[in-house]
Structure 1
């Protein structure tokens, strides 16, 4: 029994030891990591998302534009952002299932070493970035302005700092630097001419050399390279007096332009008086105050494109001080009843003061020196008065045609009617000497002390006198530039008379009309003076001029020969004036003494040539118009309409001023009255009076 219990005890101990060992093993298996835990299972390579790449452009390339197409690869279903520059600006974003991408960008920054990277974003995975692509980028410079803009040649824009800009217009290019801030400006030379042009620009820098940027987008512009003519000032008149408080300045100019009026005082101060826009060909503005004394007033004109033209002819004015108001005298006190009123003494008498002195109004200094002499190239009314031959619009020519028709029907035709109606027949008489003895010379008369000048000397003298008279068709000041105007006037008068005599004689001989005789006609000087005086009194700018001192007569003496020669002469003078007008337009604004002289010669030739043709058309006396009308009325009418239309187009500034101040209506009424008078007298003499005499 004892042995059996010991056996049971040993078996129980072994079972407990086995159970304890099993428990320890279970605990160790739970505490220690398994092989599977120590080495996790690696997924297949096909499940890892690849990173993005940029395949184009390649690193190290130069781009001449801010625009480019960027291509590369990415993971399917991912989003790619392309970042540019050090600031990593997002220039494009691509999404989609495809494993490649392509996007067009238009705002790449300019500069050397610009990095481009692609960043890939995929849900559930980290962002992946491509290797950077390093580029040199230089975009085209920008040109400020809109399509079709009007400019005087001034262009501006923005490029890369300190880059070299090349501006191209048509086949011409100009190179210049941009500023440190990238801004640039350039004035296109006027030599390329006015009109519509296309402008583009490129640029290059030290980092882009030898490469330049791509050209900028073409920009159409309207280039106005011609400065406007000087404006015409009609009021105040030269030599007049204006108050120091200001005056109203008015005149004519180019529509759309801006006129600025300046004054140079006797003290040499340069003052801007007023500024205004030109509307309907006229301008007017109220000027600011001026110091008392003398002043020279000049108007300048800036057209819509920004071109500044020459100044108008300076006008010397006298500026008067405003009247000084003296204090009212102290009223006397009537004491009444013969008593003397004694003023009350002040409570606090003031300190002694100096004796009062009489005050007199301020009077302008009579010794104020006149305005300083202008330079030899200073402008005058003969420099700037003639409008452009190519600037008149259709309405201006239509107005000129209407005025020509009215002038023919209400002036020239009635004048001829009056001449044939009331003109007395001339009776031949022996010539009468104005001075000396009115008797026939005898053989014992003493020989003259000096011989008469020859024909050539007399002709030169008459032409010089004619030039001097023409000079006074506009106000003349004691300035050096008027010596230049006198020279230009003499040259124009000489060219006018040479052309108006030699060419008609040569043409008449070629056409078989016969020989022609050229003779001096000194009495034409009276006509030249009368026309110049009319221009001066009416303040015509440009002035109407007449400059012929020769007659050209057909030796054949027939009506046809005289009429044909008269028509040829009028046509020659008209063509001469038209060529002068065109030359004046092509010369443009003068810039020196020679240019100014040539411009004045052309202007005077234009006005004197067309004006002489118009005046010779008058069918009166020994003028060529009478011979032409007697020979062929249709040719006379056609010639009159053409010549007078061009004349009124040339005098367009005068018509503009008259329209502004209402003088056109007054002139029309005067011309209408003259036409009615001529027609009435003609009807009376030719119809009514013969009818009454018949009874």
Structure 2
């Protein structure tokens, strides 16, 4: 280096060559004075979290800037009269030879530089993934490094970081079951002495190694007739997943609605812009947070009622069935994608399919009378019992019916046959000739008319609360149906009791509150709502008749036999009426259908629950009287409740129906053999 003039007449001398090692130092000027001493730099070992301490000499009064790599801003600045410096640097990047440079400038403007290099490997990162589909976990690291992922502090799996800095591992290699796991990672450098990094921050993920089951579609029910817009679809699924409901037939297919699954596993969405009038198959699928999609649920057949106010003429730009590709065979609708080849060029931007006969170009209903005169909209109650849903369980309900007939036949062979105890006019009242008129039943004690009204209203409220969520415009109608059904069932029970107990020996019947009935009402309502039973199985008998001073044992037994049979007959009749009323979609027809459904639910449920051998119930009286009669009549009532549950789509229903059928058949056969063969033979001996 050539000399240069310096202020004050000095001449700069060539800087000496750096000695071999990690330190490299250059100086533009090297005056012999102490104030112009060149800067030096050295470093210690890096810490696992990326810190390193550098030290060196400097000229007194000079300022030293320390930089990492190619950074323009210094990481550390040291000045003052000291002849040495010390800095702790943070945030070292990963690399084999990371340059750390020191630049010194004194008061005279003389500069000098020195540098050193250090090797360091930082901890890898793990991508946050609350749910890991098929156990796939990824992150970022140093290219070429080996990442070791530790699961729950013990098991490990390794991967090599790619040239783009990313890495991926599969937890399935360890054969881990589905569940929640804690993950952390280290990486081993591919350079130098292959140092190992510090451990990364711990993350938690949930492993989903299997495809989720199909969601449950509870509403609409199979065979229901629903409007194209405003009907609520509901069911259960995996919390956090997204459920998509699709519909389709040979001519049309689309997405009805979608909704997230709540933390309690329930979901619901409103079908808006459904298919044109006609029969469609409706099914649902769910996509989890990990991106795994289930298979479609069991499809149900529904009918979209065509809006009578819609114009038969459609706009040229409205899609028609001929504008879409028709599959050769009707298929179960795909809730996730339209069929291959379907023309979607005329679909609105919001994803709703244009359908023939749509009420208006924008899909909104024009002014005019409401469909079918029902301005309150549909509810899921009316479609709980249909001809299709009752027989959806296959042959099991038929087997139940045959078994019930056999049981009735067996009971007729008993010494006190059941049919002889059915309601009749004989003996139910005091002779007319004795008092000149039919006796009247006084209710002078116990429960009055106001109290009875409060009880019936409470029972109706419990029936309403046991039902699935009902949209706001229809709740008054459903509550009215619940009130009417409760009155019908309680009236049937009280009339049977009055006919069985009243007027015998001058005893006057007294109406009282059944404490057991109140408890069973609350229990059955909560249980039906919690399990999603549709229709619910309820016990609504809150009033009981008590005669004073003493009720004969024969009268109590007669009532215990009569009341369950009356409730069974009432429930069966209500089921038949509910099925017949499905073809009357008007407002009055819907109210009548809902009343019939809830009457069947309350009557059959009260008959079945009433056979429990608890105080205040018919079951305890029969249990004390004859275990055989209690068993046979209990199986009859259980069969009625099983028939009520037959529309439920749960997989356990056929098993329950089959088991009930076998029990009834077995009990009937044993009873008939005993009464027709064994007992006559014993009596003959």
Global fold match (TM > 0.5): no
- Which structure shows the higher helix fraction? 1
Report the TM range for the smaller structure's normalisation: 0.3 to 0.5
TM-score by length of 2: 0.41
The answer to which structure, 1 or 2, has the higher relative contact order (CA under 8 A, 6+ apart) is: 1
TM-score by length of 1: 0.40
